[in-house]
Structure 1
Amino acid sequence: MASTLRERTLLPPDDPADLVRFARGLADARAAVRAKLVGPDGSEIDIPDDFYDVLLDVVVALSQGMAISIAPHNTMLTSQEAADLLNVSRPTLVRLLTDGEIPHTMRGRHRRVLLRDVLDYSERTRVERRSALDQMAGDAEDDGLYEATVDSRPIR
C-alpha cells in the first residue's frame, strides 16, 4: 500500500448523532476478539489494540464536536503553530527556542520546529510539573499541614 502521509484536520460533522452512536458501539464492542477494519470491498485487516484505542478516541472526540489533526512526527511547524500547540504565546515560544529548551532550525529569518520536539517538550514539562506537585504534597504532609485547621474550635 503506497500512500503519502499528509497532515490534515478532520472537523466534526454538523450532525454528530451518527458518530455518537458509533462511539457507543465501539465502546460496547470491547471483547477478547481482535478488532478488524473492513473495507468497502469486504476485505478485512486486523487492527492492533493500540490503533483501536486511537480510533475510538478520534470518534469520541469528533462526536463531542472537537476537531482532530493527524500529522507525522517529522512535520515542521511554524513558531505560531508550535506556540498554539503548547498553548503559550509566540514570544514565549521564541524564548524557549532561544534558551535551547526546544530544538529548532532557521529557514531564512523564520524558525521551524519539529512536531516531535514540541511534543517531547510538552511531555517533559508535564512530568516535571507532576514531580514538583508530588514533592510539594509530600512536604506538606511531612510538615503536618493536612492536619492543621484554620479554626480549631471544637465542633459539636
Structure 2
Amino acid sequence: MDAMPGRPEVFLLEDDERVVVPGGPTLVGPHGERREIPAKVYDVMRFVEAALLQGLAVQVTPLRSELTIDEAADAIEMDRDELRLYASRGDLPIRSSEYGDWVRLADVLALNARVNTEREQALQAMAEDDGSGAGR
C-alpha cells in the first residue's frame, strides 16, 4: 500500500464496519498487550505505516459524519465551488440550515470516488485514442 505525498485519504467506518470479529485483526503493543480492531481500522493502520515508512508525515484529523460543504470540500481537497456545483446539480444530497449547507461525509466520499473513477476512465480513453494513431 502506497501513500501519496499531500494526497489526503479519508477513512470512515459505517456502523456495520465498527464490529470486532474474533480472530480478526489485532494491534499488539510493545509489551505484548493485544487489542482486537475492526478490519477497516487495520486498513487505516496499514496506510499510516506505509506513509511513515516512506518518510512522510501523517496528520490524523477526526471528522464529524456531517460537515459543512466547505469542510467536506477541504477534507477531500476538492475546490469548494466544484463541490457546491455537484450539490446544486443534485449529485450530492445537501441539508441547508440557518448555519450553512451540510452534507454527510459518506455521501461526499462516494461522490469523490465516483468523480475520480470517471476522471481516470476519461484519461484512459484519451490515452487509448492518442495511441491508436488517430489524428496522425
TM-score of Structure 1 vs Structure 2, range by shorter chain: 0.5 to 0.7
- Partner in structure 2 of residue 134 of structure 1: 124
| Aligned positions of 1:6-17 closer than 5 A | none
CA contact 2:72–2:108 (8 Å) conserved in 1 = yes
Alpha-carbon distance, 1:76 to partner:
0.7
- Partner in structure 1 of residue 3 of structure 2: none
| Aligned positions of 1:68-147 closer than 5 A | 68-71=60-63, 75-108=65-98, 110-143=100-133
Q: 1:61 to 1:69 in 2, by over 3 A?
A: farther
Alpha-carbon distance, 1:110 to partner:
1.3
Larger Rg: 1
Name stretches of at least 5 consecutive residues in structure 2 with no aligned partner.
1-23
Aligned-residue CA RMSD (Å) = 3.1
Aligned-pair identity (%):
32
Spell out structure 1 runs of 4+ moving beyond 6 A: none
Aligned partner letter, 2:106? R
- Give the SS at the match of 1:37: strand
- Give the SS at the match of 1:122: helix
Name stretches of at least 5 consecutive residues in structure 1 with no aligned partner.
1-33, 149-156
TM-score, L = length of structure 1:
0.55
Q: 1:51 to 1:118 in 2, by over 3 A?
A: same
Say yes or no: does 1:66 pair with 2:58.
yes
- Give the SS at the match of 2:61: strand
Q: 1:51 to 1:133 in 2, by over 3 A?
A: same
Alpha-carbon distance, 1:95 to partner:
2.4
- Give the SS at the match of 1:113: strand
